[in-house]
Copies of this chain bind each other. A is one copy, B any other.
Amino acid sequence: MQSQLIIRILGILLMIFSVTMIPPMGVAVLYKDGGGLAFFLGFLISLLTGLVLFLPRKKLRGELRIRDGFLVVVLFWAVLSLFGAIPLYLSDINNLGIADVVFESFSGLTTTGATVIVGLDDLSHSVLFYRQQLQWLGGMGIIVLAVAILPMLGIGGMQLYRAETPGPVKDSKLTPRIAGTAKALWFIYLGLTIICALSYWGAGMSMFDAISHSFSTVAIGGFSTHDQSIGWFDSSRIEMICTIFMLISGVNFSLHFASVRGLTIEPYTRDPEFKVYITIIITVSLIALLVLIFQANFEFSKAFRNAIFHTVSIATTTGFSTDNFSQWPLFLPVLLIFASFIGGCAGSTGGGMKVIRFLLLFKQGAREIKKLIHPSAIFKIRVGSSSLPESIIEAVWGFFATYVALFFIFMLILMADGLDQVTAFSAVAACMNNLGPGLGEVANNYSSLSDLSKWVLAISMLFGRLEIFTLLVLFTPDFWRS
């Protein structure tokens, strides 16, 4: 472990992060909402801590190795989330305690979008903007994490994507390669955000709401500036725009990159994960449509709007809503929550287990059946035109089983803390899948939970966001042995 080097990097990250507290200060000045001081203090604390960590190690040089990567990634999210909670704490919103602001900050940076705040519409513009920005920054982090870093660390079978990553592939040094990839992806991320914001604005949102919601849309975050979420606007145009950008953001950003670079849609049409992603969304939308028409007795246009919007929102793990879907009839709420377990595509800002893993699990299941019928034949698993090494299949299985096991452990802890089964189930699903809204007690917000539950859920968000293993590996003694 190159501890000194890692501390140096953490110092740099904190200094950069401190700068992100300046825009909310600007918003506070612009709207004269009096919220500037909290962000200024947050800025100072982050900057000074960063300097304290960085300056003594200013001249330190060295290359990060793979193993250091795990620690840097976990510290990135954990430490920034903690410092990100400071301005929220100082803003003194409805007397939020430490567990509340930490939950909110983790929920922001992990793009989960679960909130403990009731009464968003009454908050100051600066705080609202800051929450949205946290998600946007989290999304930037995730893009790089998912496309460049996790594949290199070999997490949960995502080395599958190693060959498709833009940038020099065979370079074993972490930093230069990530930098190159990051720049290209952020360009796309920024471009999408701008187009999304302009579209929202054109459809009738205020400039403030347009920018705010573009942040949480492309980040698959789901934070809103209104308690009623997207439903507040009551506009089918806004819902359509939102749906389109959620769909786009749930796709592997490598595909966007390849598409933009080649000015062709071919990268999408020949990507197996993309096809399954679209198929899932269409299938679940249709089921939702039928249930809403025949069981909830919605008229067709209302059913159509609601079915598509919520399917895309929940299946991509964004978590926006226009209706209280937890009250929809039959299995629909649970089906949507199940869809969030599949989540977005790998290399997107979406959460969940990722479509590609689901596809691989399905293919492996089918292969096991074939093996039973033809015991002596050998079947390879193919994705598109390439056949996968067994080690990737095993990594995906390991991911799946660990995900399920961790899910049950978190659920039992929440039930030990007094939550009922439906609430505990959906709260863990919504947080681990980085979805946001749950069912039962947490259908609207998480304010009624105890501090313990909030801490546990904040940690489950981090587990989900870091694809379980990045964080889990730190809990093994083996990792800490030189």
A180 to chain B, nearest CB (A): 22
Contact between B367 and A398, CB atoms less than 8 A apart: yes
Contact with B along A437-475 (1 / 0, CB 8 A): 001000000000000000000000000000001001100
Chain B, residue nearest A372 (CB): B473
> Nearest CB to that of A398 among chain B residues?
B368
Contact yes or no, A368 B418, CB < 8 A: no
Q: A335 within 8 Å of B by Cβ?
A: yes
Interface size on A, residues (CB 8 A): 53
Cα(A479)–Cα(B370), bound, Å: 8
Residue ID in chain B nearest A337 by CB atoms:
B421
Interface of A is mostly: helix
- A338's contact among B153, B408, B425, by CB below 8 Å, is which? B408
Q: Are A415 and B334 in contact (CB under 8 A)?
A: yes
- Contact of A478 with B by CB under 8 A: yes
Interface membership of A13, Cβ < 8 A: no
- Asked whether B421 lies within 8 Å of A421 as measured between CB atoms, the reply is yes
Instruction: List 30 A-B pairs, Cβ < 8 Å.
Output: A153-B372, A154-B375, A155-B372, A156-B368, A330-B415, A331-B412, A331-B416, A334-B411, A334-B412, A338-B408, A338-B412, A364-B401, A365-B398, A365-B405, A368-B394, A368-B469, A369-B469, A369-B473, A371-B391, A372-B469, A373-B473, A373-B476, A373-B478, A373-B479, A393-B394, A397-B397, A400-B400, A404-B404, A421-B425, A421-B439
A: residues with CB less than 8 A from B are 66-67, 70, 153-156, 330-331, 334-335, 338, 361, 364-365, 367-373, 375, 390-391, 393-395, 397-402, 404-405, 408, 411-412, 415-416, 418, 421-422, 424-425, 439, 469, 472-473, 476, 478-479
